[in-house]
Structure 1
Amino acid sequence: MPVILRLLAPLLALAALAVPARAAPAVPTAQEAPVAMLVDLSSGQVLHARDPDRRFVPASVTKVMTLYLAFEQIAAGKLDPDQVFAMSPALARDWRRKGSTMFLEPGEPVRVHDLLLGIANVSANDGAVVLAEGAAGSIAAWTAAMNRTARSLGMHGSHFASPNGWPDEGRTFTTARDLVTLARALVTRHPDAFGYYVGRAGFAYKGIAQVNHDPMIGRVPGADGIKTGFTNEAGFTYLGTAVRDGQRLVLVLAGVESARLRARLARAYTEWGFAAFDRKHLFAPGSVVGSARVQDGAARHVRLVARGPVAINLPRGQSPSLSAVIRYDGPLRAPIAKGEEIAVLEITGPGLPPARIPLVAAEAVAKAGPLARIRNALLEPFA
């Protein structure tokens, strides 16, 4: 059953915030982009959205799911960056030198490490299929794993029919909201792999140097990837991110008519996202935000904290009336692990993009023994 706890102390602090009366820069019109979405990952605020749930063909942005699945398997010990795969004759017939490439040859040994770099930075179609077949036994098995992973992340508007996004008559599709979900998982679950493999200026393999066509790397301060895409079927797409002063923005663009327009919109959106809001910190990392009731636990309540600092973006020149609540499905049932995500802090206000910050358990709560369950049952009316 959903439980809502209203917070008073944060509201008093929010009401006292003074917002400078400075003119905010104008948001890009996005008329040239049928789909656009800009999200502050740290607060969960959607700063701008245009058709965020509209399904579209992602083209090579599909490879972000291939990268994420590979990072998941590496973390689980099922895949090793030093493993060596090779392009099978069947793959060579379909994928040798097809589109963006690492120039792999049939039977040529290549490390997973190099495949990941090629996929992430030069959009290697051959690298993606070699990784998929080598890691899963077949492309079909890999794409099935991609779809299971998408469902586990809550990407309900997405389906993947290939590991690289090559045109497939629309069988591969996604939404801007789902790509933001994927980007959040990529950055938060695998920060080291993301930082190492994604967002390089280019990649050289077999003596062939190629550049990364990301429109923000090296041009927008703090930009560090993630992936461009283009096919005649999809138009120009983009999933990108940038971080400044601990604030990470994620941007999705889809259906853009040209690479030049995609680059202009990506830079304009990102700069607007950092400039148009005043970021107000409410809680330091590790601060207790509230507590939630626990059923059948050694403790009757568990304290709730955020993984990082809790902050909200307020439009410049505005000081809206705000409210804050903690939401969770409760009562929670023990056992609960320390650091387990169990609630959400939601901050809203008139005309303000809502902030939804995940809250985790500050400590573990073991399942109660028989005597403790009896005690909790007796105390339940007084909780």
Structure 2
Amino acid sequence: MQSKTLSILPLAFAIAAGALVPNSASFAAPPHAAKHAAAPKKPAAAEAPAPAAAPGQTAVAGGAPALAAKAWLLMDFDSGEVLASSNPDEPLPPASLTKMMTSFLVEQALRSGKLKKDDLVTTSQNAWCRGSSTESCMYLPLNSQATVIDILRGIIIQSGNDASKAIAEHMAGSEEGFAKLMNAEAKRLGMTNTNFVNATGLPDPAHKASARDLAILARAIIRDSSDYYPIYAEREFKYNNIKQGNRNALLYTDPTVDGLKTGHTQEAGYCLVTSSKRNGMRLITVILNTNSAQARADQTRQLLGWGYSNFEKATPIQPNTVVTNAKVSFGKADTVAAGLGSPWTLTVPRGQQVQTSVEVKPDLQAPVAKGAVIGKVVATSNGKPVGETPLVAQADVERSGLMLRAWQHVAKLFGK
């Protein structure tokens, strides 16, 4: 029988990220193991050797920080632009960062009505945690039922393997079937270096994801799961009389951080995907395969601090501005005013000037509807592209009558 002794990851432990017990998002001690947490550890097992510090690629003069992780990345949330990275596209074991896709699929099913918050999910023999000291669990009793919203919290906050397997079976009939849904969604989002085999992130040679792909997924969660995203900032969750704390140490130490997920296996090392919003700018960080919970927290702090110090928001073109008058063929008007369809901001290196250029669709012909995309505006800084946005028609242009079109055809032939 499982013990139901209270287990709390104290605030003091979270502040000292390396002291979190356990530090794994895929593996963690069950509640009854908490009484052994103070036992001395063998020095050799305290942490794995640190990966070599890898300098990153960035547009910032002076370069990016060198972090001792196998891969890392800093992304601007608004644009999706990668501001700095090292080894961003290598498929690596993601450990429990996998559960971001599991939770995202649950959130999207809730949004679409395929699932309801109070739907009941049954814990099968396969999903049930058996009290092992090697798994991170929500501690759902065997053959019990839990609501979808509790399951979602168990996945996000407690990193529950049991919760992840149970919802996978509920939504797709099996974890294998759910993995197909995960991969289909990854493809839709543009995660080109990812392959999911399970819903938990437990080790499998074919189970991989890249730092860039995980940032893309984090951005989708923040953007498309706004009703449920606050769960990623919750510090603890109590279920089955067992209270467990969120393993993301930055939630306790940095008020600008509001998610997302930790992960750890021996193969994957210590991993962390984080989002932070300061002064209207949201940044996403990914740290993969560093050697301790302390290191993943410290490196994330360093990367966020560097990002906010070296980048700023820029508005290349003010809203409601006519960017250009685009030439229109065979219309009752020869041109149409063109501007932005929505406000446009970029994240650029501090102090750098932004230039814009306009590209209108060639041979634009009437009719043209107000709001139709007729080109794009491209922003560059120091000669490098930093973003683009659609150019839209600001008015309708009706197609000219038959006689006028005939004259316009003749004029076009003679280059008039």
Residue 203 of structure 1: aligned partner: 237
Residue 137 of structure 1: aligned partner: 173
1:149-228 equivalence runs, <5 A: 149-169=185-205, 171-194=206-229, 196-228=230-262
1:47-126 equivalence runs, <5 A: 47-92=83-128, 99-126=135-162
Q: Write the distance in 2 (CA, Å) between the matches of 1:136 and 1:294.
A: 51
CA contact (8 A) 1:96 1:104 kept: no
Q: Write the distance in 2 (CA, Å) between the matches of 1:334 and 1:74.
A: 43
CA contact (8 A) 2:120 2:147 kept: yes
User: Cα offset for 1:336?
Assistant: 11
CA contact (8 A) 1:306 1:359 kept: yes
- Distance change in 2, residues 1:33/1:336 (3 Å): farther
Equivalent of 2:265 in 209, 231, 236: 231
User: Cα offset for 1:205?
Assistant: 1.2
Residue 264 of structure 1: aligned partner: 298
User: Cα offset for 1:356?
Assistant: 2.2
User: Cα offset for 1:49?
Assistant: 0.8
Residue 349 of structure 1: aligned partner: 381
- Distance change in 2, residues 1:46/1:111 (3 Å): same
CA contact (8 A) 1:100 1:123 kept: yes
Equivalent of 2:347 in 309, 312, 324: 312
Residue 30 of structure 2: aligned partner: none
Q: Please tell me the residue identity of whatever aligns with 1:324.
A: T
TM-score by length of 1: 0.76
- Sequence identity, in percent? 30
Q: Which stretch shows the higher mean deviation, 79-88 or 332-341?
A: 332-341
Aligned length: 352
CA contact (8 A) 1:283 1:311 kept: no
- Distance change in 2, residues 1:99/1:286 (3 Å): farther
Q: Write the distance in 1 (CA, Å) between the matches of 2:211 and 2:225.
A: 21
Relative contact order (alpha carbons < 8 A, sep ≥ 6): 1 or 2 greater? 1
Q: Write the distance in 2 (CA, Å) between the matches of 1:98 and 1:363.
A: 61
**Helix, strand or coil for the counterpart of 1:226?**
strand
CA contact (8 A) 2:374 2:393 kept: no
- Distance change in 2, residues 1:131/1:146 (3 Å): same
Q: Please tell me the residue identity of whatever aligns with 1:181.
A: I
- Distance change in 2, residues 1:204/1:350 (3 Å): same
Q: Write the distance in 2 (CA, Å) between the matches of 1:80 and 1:342.
A: 41
Q: Write the distance in 2 (CA, Å) between the matches of 1:201 and 1:223.
A: 12
CA contact (8 A) 2:330 2:408 kept: no
User: Cα offset for 1:142?
Assistant: 1.0
User: Cα offset for 1:312?
Assistant: 3.3
CA contact (8 A) 1:216 1:223 kept: yes
Q: Which stretch shows the higher mean deviation, 218-227 or 261-270?
A: 218-227
CA contact (8 A) 2:74 2:82 kept: yes
Q: Write the distance in 2 (CA, Å) between the matches of 1:347 and 1:328.
A: 15
Q: Please tell me the residue identity of whatever aligns with 1:349.
A: S
Q: Write the distance in 1 (CA, Å) between the matches of 2:104 and 2:110.
A: 10
**Computing the radius of gyration over CA atoms, which structure comes out larger, 1 or 2?**
2
- Distance change in 2, residues 1:189/1:296 (3 Å): farther
User: Cα offset for 1:139?
Assistant: 1.2
Q: Does 1:323 align with 2:355?
A: yes
User: Cα offset for 1:287?
Assistant: 6.2
Q: Please tell me the residue identity of whatever aligns with 2:101.
A: M
Q: Please tell me the residue identity of whatever aligns with 1:103.
A: Y
User: Cα offset for 1:54?
Assistant: 1.4
- Distance change in 2, residues 1:233/1:304 (3 Å): farther
CA contact (8 A) 1:44 1:355 kept: no
**Where does the alignment leave 5 or more consecutive residues of structure 2 unmatched?**
1-59
Q: Please tell me the residue identity of whatever aligns with 1:323.
A: Q
Residue 285 of structure 2: aligned partner: 251
**Helix, strand or coil for the counterpart of 2:139?**
coil
Residue 16 of structure 1: aligned partner: none
Residue 183 of structure 2: aligned partner: 147
TM-score by length of 2: 0.71
Q: Please tell me the residue identity of whatever aligns with 2:234.
A: R
Residue 39 of structure 1: aligned partner: 75
Residue 46 of structure 2: aligned partner: none
Q: Please tell me the residue identity of whatever aligns with 1:347.
A: A
